[in-house]
Amino acid sequence: MIDELIKGIRKDLYIGGEWREASDHGRFDVRDPATEEVIASVASATAEDATAAVTAAYDAGPEWAARAPIERADILRKSYDLMLARCDDYASIISREEGKTLAEARGEVNYAASFMRWFAEEAVRFSGRFGRAPAGGNNILVQHKPVGVSLLITPWNFPAAMATRKIAPALAAGCTTILKPASETPLTALMLASLYEEAGVPPGVVNVLPSRSSSVISNTIMSDDRTRKLSFTGSTEVGRILLTKAAEKIINCSMELGGNAPFIVLDDADLDVSSEAALVAKIRNAGESCIGANRFYVHSSIFNEFSKRLSAKMSQLKVGPGMDAGIDVGPLVNADTCDKVESLVKQAVELGATVLTGGRRPDGPGHFYEPTVMVDIPTEAEILHTEIFGPVATIVPFEDDDQAVEMANNTIFGLAAYVCGKDIGRALSVADRIDAGVMGINRGFISDTSAPFGGFKQSGIGREGSQDGLHEFLETKYVAVDW
């Protein structure tokens, strides 16, 4: 069944409403992280293909921008319906190429589709302003215009949702797009190309360019004067490179970058609530989430009990292929990611850390890592300072709220953070002092289509979702009017 599904996906480039091979006929393999088997071969775009995509997007721009907003909304709404109607197919492909469990993949499909519905509604709601200049000399008319050809670069960890969180607002705003998906997960992106085609998105409005040569593609597209926008989700390291490139043509940038989320458990926290929230915040997508809890700071008075409870929960999780029934934690996406997690744990243990549960990499095939909880971690251990991106929880004690806040903010990142405590006023005042764009209080699940998502500090620039996500794809035009 899954093999038939994969066979049915178009695996070439989608440019100007046509499916075509790469100009040099190059292709690359897609592997199942649970088995390491090759499951598909996908066209790998070249610089020539990238320029063709810019031309297609640029040529399609004026007609798409001129469409009545309600027509764009109707197409987005149809995309939403189509995606949900095939929820299980999308979920199976996401699970197979990315590794997450089927239940989580279904959750991702619903989340991904919800951006189409949300921005279909926003497409007809945004308006400008009108006023009189204070000095009375003229009238002030403010309009919002589509920013133009938009390059969208997405990561592998949420291959559907990270794409629709960009495509939907771009289309709602009247922009045309070129999606460059992560090489680990191009199949989901190619399914989306077919979905938009079926929903009636005109040729050239959505172009999809899988490629093994990501920097060639981004450099070519961003060197082109016709490109006006970059919306990137991925690591801070790559974000930095892209921002430097964007500076050459002063390209408008939205950046959703890496995180290093602290999870603070105050001394009055409910241990059932906080340990459950901790599990959710840690184990989503096997820990491969930008908002995944990375550093647990727990008040010393409840440190042992909290550590025991979280370890008990983590040790009960069943690890295996995400497509199998009853699995809680799928494989990590590839060998490099698994190697990194393994070496971070190893280094911390060598420095004196104690492993309460897990700490092993099961024999292959597949890039699995056991859900792990560690304590007694020396401050110099790398694992406390980097994005782990795996199912490993590090727990560190603190003595008072000020110390917890200081440790939480001691990072270049500022994407997500969590606080647990029964006194909501106190939890909110701790949250208020943490430099993060997205916060959870007494809960581990925080993503919401209607809420602004994005980071402080080196975790990003701009916001996705909510009304803010649409404005990332709009330029503001002021017209001084006399009549």
Of 269 and 416, the one with the shorter C-beta distance to ligand NAP is 416
CB 174 within 8 A of CB 65: yes
CA dist 390 and 104 (Å) reads 16
Does residue 156 belong to the site contacting ligand NAP (CB under 6 A)? yes
Binding window for ligand NAP (CB under 6 A); candidates: 49-57, 86-94, 154-162, 221-229: 154-162
- The residue among 241, 268, 273, 291 whose CA lies nearest residue 413 is 291
Question: 386: buried, middle or exposed (CB in 10 Å: 19+, 13-18, 0-12)?
Answer: middle
Exposure string for 296-321, b = 16+ CB within 10 A, e = fewer: bbbbeebbeebbebbbebbeebebbb
User: DSSP string of 272-286?
Assistant: HHHHHHHHHHHHGGG
Q: How far is the CB of 463 from ligand NAP (least distance, A)?
A: 10
Between 197 and 216, how does the x/- string for binding to ligand NAP read (CB under 6 A)? -----------------xx-
Residues touching ligand NAP: how many (CB under 6 A)? Answer: 28
Does residue 153 belong to the site contacting ligand NAP (CB under 6 A)? yes
User: Is 253 assigned a catalytic role?
Assistant: no
Does residue 42 belong to the site contacting ligand NAP (CB under 6 A)? no
Does residue 415 belong to the site contacting ligand NAP (CB under 6 A)? yes
H-state helical runs in 86-101: 87-98
Of 64 and 156, the one with the shorter C-beta distance to ligand NAP is 156
- Locus of tokens 């010393």: 300
Q: How far is the CB of 28 from ligand NAP (least distance, A)?
A: 9
Does residue 258 belong to the site contacting ligand NAP (CB under 6 A)? yes
- The residue among 61, 109, 96 whose CA lies nearest residue 185 is 96
Does residue 257 belong to the site contacting ligand NAP (CB under 6 A)? yes
CA dist 374 and 161 (Å) reads 31
Q: How far is the CB of 180 from ligand NAP (least distance, A)?
A: 6
Binding window for ligand NAP (CB under 6 A); candidates: 17-25, 32-40, 151-159, 426-434: 151-159
User: Is 256 assigned a catalytic role?
Assistant: yes
CB 383 within 8 A of CB 295: no
Of 98, 122, 256, 370, which lies in the binding site for ligand NAP, with binding defined by CB under 6 A? 256
Residues that bind ligand NAP (CB under 6 A): 153-157, 162, 180, 182-184, 214-215, 218, 233-235, 238, 241-242, 256-259, 290, 387, 415, 455, 460
Active-site annotation, residues = 256, 290
